[in-house]
Structure 1
């Protein structure tokens, strides 16, 4: 990276910092940007400058004190299938191949135990308790 390019980036970022703040400037450059996109782009710029600081190209990270827009995630409700929908879903899986058997077993586990896919994939055989009737 040449000194001219570094100076150009530095002056651009200082202009953005003074006039808009970086998240606003990033969001203005795109037609539609979600809050998460703006935060991700700000993080990318911040990491770029962190890398340049560790390489002793710039003395400090001008983006480090910047904060992105606030964003909170809301917990969604799990969709519960009724018995007929679960049966239709299980019957729709092609079980002629081992992959189909695997998929059907995972779907059955998720439907019967109200488990999400991440938890189902990390389960071991010891995690399942079979109750005798």
Structure 2
């Protein structure tokens, strides 16, 4: 019986989704990272065929799918370091390498818990230090141009304006916005309930412009998009009456930005960065921004203080006579 890491990968992803409650998109990211490492093992011949129970406990895994891993801790660590070195040599970004290390540490911690391997080869490997790349932030005038771009005379235009207003007004992640249901909205109080990472609920604000756009869309736009189809309750619908997905929202944002800002790259997450930075620019404290963004650690939120300071320095250099 081989140590079949492909099958253990499947069980690991199942545990992430149904035991830890991670979002499907997060689980897919873990799966992609682990699959890349398993492809590396195939390429280097990391298949010694060591004895170990199969995940199902029913004997040999199907021929041709088994990927083993050396049993000696020194060998496993050597392969792990070789994999990291190969990623860097092939031009993978430091952020990608760091994320894959997190995924693989979690995967092998799971394997240790299950008795498949003796130790975690990725524990002692430190991720490369990421470069100081600050998040892209839109200027208030750019935000206004994007929010005013959709045509309010069509149901799609009403939807797009409500969608963009919601992204900017709430600072919510794109996955949280596409998961919104009509019952999650409280337009009277100007807030919405979203389901964030790890299945955690939180309330996000909806400013008066977002409330107006949502109200108009729900009355005059959404019913026309839904037609006579079954109503699943999701707020944002496609022209076929189906709930929008993450990629749909990305295309809407990119298309709108291309129309009003030219080639400037803008994503749904740009609105989240912009939301946080504009709050700090306006005097909001870091703890408040952390709560609104749903960050578990304030350290994650602190990057926006650097963005704010960078914007201040740029304004100073541009406007001060002797800067």
Q: What is the TM-score normalised by the length of structure 1?
A: 0.60
The alignment status of 1:58 with 2:105, answered yes or no, reads no
Contact 2:98 / 2:128 at 8 angstroms: preserved in 1?
yes
Residues 60-93 of structure 1: per-residue CA shift (max 9 Å, x gap): 21211222012255244332227xx73x863543
Task: Return closer, same or farther for 1:15/1:117 CA change in 2, 3 Å cut-off.
Answer: closer
- Write out aligned runs for 1:61-100 (5 A): 61-71=120-130, 72=132, 74-81=134-141, 86=145, 90=148, 92-93=150-151, 95-97=153-155, 99-100=156-157
Cα shift at 1:34: 0.4
- Write out aligned runs for 1:38-53 (5 A): 38-53=97-112
Task: Return closer, same or farther for 1:81/1:9 CA change in 2, 3 Å cut-off.
Answer: farther
SS in 2 for 1:65: coil
**Candidates 65, 69, 79, aligned match of 1:6:** 69
Query: Using the alignment, how far apart are the partners of 1:108 and 1:15 within structure 2?
Result: 50
Cα shift at 1:117: 5.1
| Larger radius of gyration between Structure 1 and Structure 2 | 1
Task: Return closer, same or farther for 1:9/1:59 CA change in 2, 3 Å cut-off.
Answer: closer
Task: Return closer, same or farther for 1:58/1:91 CA change in 2, 3 Å cut-off.
Answer: closer
The alignment status of 1:27 with 2:85, answered yes or no, reads no
Contact 1:49 / 1:61 at 8 angstroms: preserved in 2?
yes
Q: Unaligned 5+ residue runs, structure 1?
A: none
Task: Return closer, same or farther for 1:61/1:8 CA change in 2, 3 Å cut-off.
Answer: closer
Q: Unaligned 5+ residue runs, structure 2?
A: 4-48, 52-67, 191-206, 210-323
Query: Using the alignment, how far apart are the partners of 2:126 and 2:88 within structure 1?
Result: 14
Query: Using the alignment, how far apart are the partners of 2:171 and 2:151 within structure 1?
Result: 17
**Range with greater deviation from structure 2 (59-68 or 99-108):** 99-108
Query: Using the alignment, how far apart are the partners of 1:117 and 1:51 within structure 2?
Result: 34
SS in 1 for 2:172: helix
Give 2:304's aligned residue: none
Query: Using the alignment, how far apart are the partners of 1:9 and 1:47 within structure 2?
Result: 20
Query: Using the alignment, how far apart are the partners of 1:32 and 1:6 within structure 2?
Result: 26
**Candidates 86, 102, 115, aligned match of 2:169:** 115
Query: Using the alignment, how far apart are the partners of 2:75 and 2:86 within structure 1?
Result: 11
Cα shift at 1:56: 0.4
